[in-house]
Structure 1
Amino acid sequence: MIHQETFNAFVDGIKKIHTVHDSDNNFWTESIEKYVKTNDKDFYIYPNIPNFIIPVIRENFALKCEEEILLFRDHSFWNSKNQGFVITDSGFTDAPYDHIPRHYYWKDISHVEFAMYSLYVYDKNSVKCFEISENDLSKNIDGLLYFWADVMNSMINTQKQKSHDEIYEEYNTQYGKLIEQGKESEALQVALDYRRIEKKQIFHQE
Structure 2
Amino acid sequence: MIRFLAIFLLCASLSGRAVSAPPVMDPEVDYLAYSERPLQEQGGKRSDTLWRLELDLEGSGKKSVFLTYSGFGDRSGNHWTAYIPRDGAKGYDRGGDVTFRWDFQRAGKFPKFNPTGGVLGVWVGKGGSTLFRYRLIDRKLVYQEMRDLDYGKPEEVRYYKMVFGRDPAERERDDIYSNPPFAKVPVSELEKRRELRKTPVK
Normalising by structure 1, report the TM-score.
0.28
Normalising by structure 2, report the TM-score.
0.28
Which structure dedicates a bigger proportion of its chain to strand? 2
